[in-house]
Amino acid sequence: MQRKLLTSGNVFKRTDGRWGGVVWYLDEDGERKRKSFSGTTKSEVNGKITDYIALFQAELENSKVINQKLSVAITEWLEVFKFPAVERVTYDRCEQIFQNQIEPYLGNKIVSNITAADIKKLITELTNKGYSYSTVKQSHNLLKEFFRYLEYEELLAKNPMRHVNMPKKQNFLSSQGKKYQPTCETVTVFTHEEIELFKAEAYKCYPTGTPKHELPGVYILMLNTGLRTGEVLGLRNSDIDLANKVLHIEQAVKEQNKREGTKKIDGRELAVGRPKTKTSIRTVPLNDAAIKAINEIRTERYFGENAPLVADNNGGYTRPVNLRKRFGRILEQAGIERKGLHALRHTFATTLINGIKQPDGTIKSLSPKEVADILGHTTSEITEMYYVRKDTSRLVGITDGFEM
């Protein structure tokens, strides 16, 4: 609550012949408080009251968000409104976007002085520095949310974000000298040849018979189920039902900044919590390759039904960064171009929707809706746009016989 004056001051003559005065106000907790004054004359006390009220009003004015530097105002807004409302990893990302992309350019500006032109210059500067479209858009969205809050609270007469729109992606990439491609064309997948190379390297052993790589079955499981990294790491042995050939996604592992309250401190920590979205809580079917991978993982490392399937050496949850590093080493030693772990999920979705040719020449495939349900997407449009690399080879000759 903001402090508030209740009176303009009362002056009175005391029984000892001196003059006194009092100003009543509400403090930050909404409690009624008073400030007392004394002097030898009435005018002296009036002067003290006038000075106090002027100082009180100035402090109120200076405390207003719009009169603070953006670096102070957004930090307070993030801590008060964002921190309790979003997951920690989301908060980490918001904080990082502000500190790395926004604060260096606008941090020292007073909030009420920031104009649409200032924000447009920021977008242009980030674009010219080669930042990705996603990063620039996140910067834009964070500023948009902050200024919308100020507008909603009637702290700002004019919202500068009203006239600052993100450029279209094709125009953004063109300004960076990059070729625009539809999202589905940028989906990263493994080719059949790369999958075979990956498997060959992942299961290699040293001459002594010792496996060269830890838990290679994890990546085969991800390739055959489309699980996210956090989901496979959050999977407990008790979540797996081999008899019915399914597994149940009920939790996920995430890595986040360590904090004391809202303040970031050195280090990172694991958090086990709910999956990404409500639809991420789901039942996933297991094919024979996935079941084989699960058995391989358990043979190499098993700590009981309540322990994670992909456990570390002590039976605890594995850090995502460790899974990524091991994956990167396999790719490098197999001579495969570097890809993220999410490429396994993309490959799974692409294969299911584009289909696999059967011995009789037919194509076995699933509908986008079926694949969306397996992946835990809210709509099949998300699956088709962001997870499936279109296969246009089957269109060759498809219009034969339709001559007009």
Would you state the structure tokens that stand for residue 128, as one six-digit string? 């010219």
214 in the Ramachandran plot: left (φ > 0), alpha (ψ -120 to 50) or beta? beta
Statement: residue 60 has pLDDT above 90:
no
In this prediction, residue 67 has a pLDDT band, given cuts at 50, 70 and 90, of: confident
In this prediction, residue 393 carries a pLDDT of 66
Q: Any residues with CB less than 8 A from the CB of 114 and at least 6 apart, and which?
A: 70, 106, 160
Token pair in block for residue 235? 């999977």
* Percent of residues, the chain, with pLDDT higher than 70: 96
Please name which of 131, 106, 132, 134 lies closest in space to residue 120, comparing C-alpha atoms.
106
Residue 223: the pLDDT is 97
- Do residues 65 and 155 touch, judged by C-beta distance below 8 A? yes
Is a pLDDT exceeding 90 seen at residue 385?
Answer: no
Q: Is the dihedral of CA 85, 90, 92, 96 positive or negative?
A: negative
| Residue of 61, 52, 64, 62 whose CA lies nearest to 8 | 52
pTM: 0.78
Residue 21, C-beta contacts closer than 8 angstroms, at least 6 positions apart: 9, 10, 11, 12, 36, 37, 38, 39, 45, 46, 48, 49
- Looking at residue 99, the DSSP 8-state letter turns out to be I
- Torsion over CA: 181, 187, 191, 194 (sign): positive
CA-closest candidate to residue 227, choices 107, 341, 350, 73: 341
Which SS3 state, helix, strand or coil, does residue 115 take? coil
- Return the pLDDT at 377: 93
Contact status, residue 33 vs residue 26, Cβ threshold 8 Å: yes
Tokens (6 digits) for 36: 């007392």
Name the residue with higher pLDDT: 396 or 95.
Answer: 95
CB 213 within 8 A of CB 329: yes
CB-based contact 119:164 (threshold 8 Å): yes
The least confident of 31-35, 57-61, 73-77, 232-236 is: 57-61
For residue range 104-123, list pLDDT tens digits in order: 999 999 998 999 999 999 99
pLDDT higher than 60, residue 1: no
What is the per-residue pLDDT for 62?
59
Helix (H) or strand (E) holding 37: strand 32-39
Do 141 and 98 meet the contact criterion of CB atoms below 8 Å apart? no
pLDDT of 394 > 70? The answer is no
Least confident of 30-44, 81-95, 150-164, 304-318: 150-164
For 65, 104, 110, 186, the CA distances from 71, given in Å and listed in that order, are: 11, 9, 9, 36
Residue 64: phi and psi, rounded to 5, are -65, 140
Kindly tell me if the per-residue pLDDT of 98 is higher than 90. Answer: yes
Each residue's pLDDT tens digit, 278-335: 999 999 999 999 999 999 999 999 999 999 999 999 999 999 999 999 999 999 999 9
Top-confidence residue, 153 or 190: 190
